[in-house]
Amino acid sequence: MATVTFQLGTNDNTRVFNLELVKKETNSVDTLIFNYLPAVTVTVGDEIVLLDQSGTTIFKGLAQKIEDSSLKKVTVYDYGVQLQDITINKIYNSQSPEAIIQDVLTNTSMTYSSTITSGVTIDKYVAKDKRAWDICIEIAELLNAKFRVDENKVFYLEFKGEDTSSEEITSTNSVLQGNWKEDGEQLVNSVIVQGDRQIFEKTESFAGPVTQVTLVEIPIDVNVTVGGTEKAGYVPGASTGDYWVDRENKNINFDASSSTIVVKYTFSVPIKTKRRDKASIDLYGTKETKVEKSYINTRDEARSFASFYLDKFANPLFNSVWSIKDSTKFPNFVVNQTITVTDSIRNITKDLIITKIDYRYPGGLLISVGENVDSLFNYNKEIQQRIKQLEEKDDNSTILNEDELIQENLLMQFDCDITSIIKRTFDSDTWYWSESSTVRNQWKEDGTGPIFRENSGFTDEDLDGLEDERISESGVTRITEGGDLRYTEFISGTIVTDAIATNTFMNLARSNLISNLGTTLTHIGVGDSDTTPIQSNTALGNETYKDALFTTPTKTTNSISFSLFLDTTENNGNDIKETGIFDAASGGNLYNHALTNVISKTNSVEAFIEVKVNINVENSNLV
């Protein structure tokens, strides 16, 4: 990764054109886009540094996209973009939300800084194939906080509006773009607040004899007396007693007629209240919403919340955009900070939140501000409710699945050669003729013939006295016979070339190998040693568990795959760092040894390991 520096207002190759830098208060990466001269070399992934005219750093980030034109165009994101390329598989037990984010950042070049100490603990947070970026967003939203990354690679987690800007926006140093805007989308002037359910007690009496009575409310806990004597309830089919409760229909059912029945029971009623702002309704019409907060336990709390909600939303929220006259103040503005805005022309003074910074060159610096509604929430109760919801999410299951694919390539080379050729030469003093297609007559000079032999091959007996040439890798050796004496003579020759095994042969060899491996290899073992495997290994570095193959080996034309599954009860307390394939449940020959990504095996982790061997065949041409 190279570092490329650009500076505003210069005339050399570092000059930029049509620059736009945008920072938002939402949890998103900041974006820088500009054109530059083709003479400058920029590639995706390069670190881009942007300086203002005085040499002050305005922005640092990573190049994401390069577009070619007469002026090249580059898109740059802040360092937070690193979080989008990292996947986390981990279970966090009894960790604070901010501690989880700190752990996620250890996989990046960023450092952590925060003004937040939540004081709460998440019992179990499961990051199952989650992007680090999504984890940071989820945790930030849990805390009702925002995060940002500055030019020094510092990751800030902070509450919206908690910090106050060192700058002020006034009619003197800034120009209002257009008018103050009213945000009617969030306007609410009629709110229904529903909290938890409140428990009440009630007593009802009934005259008998009857076998069933009907209550006014749906009962939770029930106490029944008949004639002053307490009776025992039961569950039909599971126990016996004097009565059973049909809660859905509010009925108490007796096995025999009873008189003078008294039922004491508890029942719940949802805590719900409704408040309206008449002046707002008359002006804007009815804008109603329903808010559910399970931490609201009394009607008084519900009423207070409804009143506070209407105070915030019964009138439109104000926001505005200001053009800063002195654009060199750019580094002093930070999104999410509270800033005092004074509009002396319209007699408006408000403490607002910086929601967006938009800088253009050539052009100017625009600052967007708006009202802070996050102070609406009861922090402690709100975060406890969100943590509960987070822990109950389907994708936050208690089991973390760790999958590991180990892939290896096996190359089979065929060195095909001709090691020997025998060539026989018929002597000039011998007479030969053929009687048929299968018989050749030979008449030797010594008068012992004719000798008949089949045309399928030569033997020393019927071709005695002929001269041989044996062609081998070392040359040509001539073999002759003279009477009873055999002698050899070396004759220089040419080594045999252009020998290959055909595709038919190689495919057959591969097929037979795959078939044999599928029946020979039966078990996979795992261990906790991270010593680099070598070809002479006969065992794992430190085997902690071995089991039969999870499924029958999967075979294709040129590969075979073996798999092992460890459930929540197997190999717990050990780190899986290595794996190997064996031909026996105990001991056995080691056919493969590979290191894996570390899997910390606990009773909350299931592990699935697949080893795939790709078998390639080729002629080595080593003849």
If we measure between CA atoms, which residue out of 567, 591, 569, 580 comes closest to residue 529?
Answer: 580
The residue behind tokens 């670190």 is 47
64 token code pair: 């994401």
- Quote the CA–CA distance of 79 and 334 in Å, as a whole number: 16
Q: Give the 3-state secondary structure percentages of the chain, helix then strand then coil, rounded to 5.
A: 15, 50, 35
- Quote the CA–CA distance of 329 and 354 in Å, as a whole number: 14
- Quote the CA–CA distance of 123 and 577 in Å, as a whole number: 28
3-state SS, 22-88, equals EEECCCCCCEEEEEECCCCCCCCCCEEEEECCCCCEEEEEEEEEEECCCCEEEEEECHHHHHHHCEE
Burial 277-303 (b: 16+ CB within 10 A, else e): beebeeebeebeeebebebbeeeebbb
DSSP-assigned letter for residue 247: G
Query: What string of DSSP letters covers 157-184?
Result: EEETT-SEEEEEEETTTEEE-S--EEEG
What is the percent of the chain with per-residue pLDDT over 90, rounded to a whole number?
36
For the chain, what is the radius of gyration of the CA atoms? 43
DSSP-assigned letter for residue 531: P
DSSP-assigned letter for residue 362: S
Binning pLDDT at 50, 70 and 90, where does residue 470 land?
low
If we measure between CA atoms, which residue out of 299, 298, 294, 317 comes closest to residue 375?
Answer: 317
**More confident site: 130 or 154:** 154
pTM over 0.85, yes/no: no
**381 has pLDDT over 80:** no
Binning pLDDT at 50, 70 and 90, where does residue 14 land?
low
- Please tell me the predicted confidence (pLDDT) of residue 413: 82
- Quote the CA–CA distance of 412 and 511 in Å, as a whole number: 12
Helix (H, G, I), strand (E, B) or coil at 332: helix
If we measure between CA atoms, which residue out of 296, 337, 289 comes closest to residue 313?
Answer: 289
- Please tell me the predicted confidence (pLDDT) of residue 500: 80
- Quote the CA–CA distance of 102 and 106 in Å, as a whole number: 7
454 token code pair: 């089949």
139 token code pair: 């945790």
How many Cβ atoms from other residues are within 10 Å of residue 314's Cβ?
Answer: 22
Binning pLDDT at 50, 70 and 90, where does residue 374 land?
low
If we measure between CA atoms, which residue out of 257, 258, 232 comes closest to residue 245?
Answer: 232
Strand 338-343 relative to strand 164-170: parallel, antiparallel, unpaired? parallel
Mean pLDDT along residues 156-175: 91
**443 has pLDDT over 50:** no
- Please tell me the predicted confidence (pLDDT) of residue 566: 86
- Quote the CA–CA distance of 416 and 539 in Å, as a whole number: 34
Winning range, highest mean pLDDT, from 114-118, 397-401, 593-597:
593-597
581 token code pair: 């394939």
Residue pair 576/519 in contact by the 8 Å Cβ criterion: no
Binning pLDDT at 50, 70 and 90, where does residue 437 land?
very low
Binning pLDDT at 50, 70 and 90, where does residue 26 land?
confident
Structural domains of the chain sorted by starting position, each given as residue range(s) with its CATH number in brackets: 3-77 (2.40.30.150), 82-160+377-398 (3.55.50), 188-315 (no CATH), 402-408+503-619 (no CATH), 420-491 (no CATH)
How many Cβ atoms from other residues are within 10 Å of residue 453's Cβ?
Answer: 16
- Quote the CA–CA distance of 106 and 378 in Å, as a whole number: 32
How many Cβ atoms from other residues are within 10 Å of residue 15's Cβ?
Answer: 16
Q: Which residues pair with 240 in a beta bridge?
A: none
Per residue in 388-424, pLDDT (tens digit) is 767 666 444 556 666 677 888 888 887 776 665 655 5
Per residue in 570-584, pLDDT (tens digit) is 899 999 999 999 999
- Quote the CA–CA distance of 539 and 525 in Å, as a whole number: 10
The mean pLDDT value of the chain amounts to 82
Per residue in 485-533, pLDDT (tens digit) is 333 444 444 445 567 888 888 889 999 999 999 899 999 999 999 999 9
**More confident site: 341 or 159:** 341
| Phi, psi values for residue 543, rounded to 5° | -70, 130
If we measure between CA atoms, which residue out of 220, 161, 591 comes closest to residue 406?
Answer: 591
Per residue in 27-86, pLDDT (tens digit) is 889 999 999 888 888 999 999 999 888 888 989 999 999 998 778 999 999 999 999 989
**464 has pLDDT over 50:** no
- Quote the CA–CA distance of 133 and 406 in Å, as a whole number: 27
**More confident site: 128 or 95:** 95
Which residue type, as a one-letter code, is found at position 282?
D
- Please tell me the predicted confidence (pLDDT) of residue 142: 85
Instruction: Report how far apart, in Å, the C-alpha atoms of 583 and of each of 56, 523, 560, 592 are.
Output: 66, 6, 15, 11
Binning pLDDT at 50, 70 and 90, where does residue 432 land?
very low
- In terms of phi and psi (left: phi > 0; alpha: psi -120 to 50; beta: otherwise), the region of 228 is left
| Phi, psi values for residue 483, rounded to 5° | 60, -130
- Quote the CA–CA distance of 315 and 277 in Å, as a whole number: 9
Q: Distance of alpha carbon 346 from its chain centroid, rounded?
A: 52
- Please tell me the predicted confidence (pLDDT) of residue 81: 92
28 token code pair: 């998103």
Q: What is the dihedral of CA 505, 511, 517, 518, to 10 degrees?
A: -170
Mean pLDDT along residues 149-158: 91
Sign of the dihedral through C-alpha 131, 132, 135, 136: negative
291 token code pair: 């808010």
- Please tell me the predicted confidence (pLDDT) of residue 457: 43
Per residue in 168-188, pLDDT (tens digit) is 999 999 999 988 988 777 789
Helix (H, G, I), strand (E, B) or coil at 566: strand
Q: Which residues, in sequence order, are CB contacts of 69 under 8 Å at separation 6+?
A: 35
**540 has pLDDT over 70:** yes
Winning range, highest mean pLDDT, from 104-108, 301-305, 417-421:
104-108
Residue pair 64/81 in contact by the 8 Å Cβ criterion: yes
- Taking the alpha carbons at both ends of the chain, their separation in whole angstroms is 46
Residue pair 123/91 in contact by the 8 Å Cβ criterion: no
- Residues in the chain, how many? 623
Lowest pLDDT segment from 6-10, 293-297, 421-425: 421-425
Binning pLDDT at 50, 70 and 90, where does residue 608 land?
confident
Residue pair 580/524 in contact by the 8 Å Cβ criterion: yes
For 251-397, where are the alpha helices, taking DSSP H only? 278-284, 299-313, 379-392
**More confident site: 435 or 302:** 302
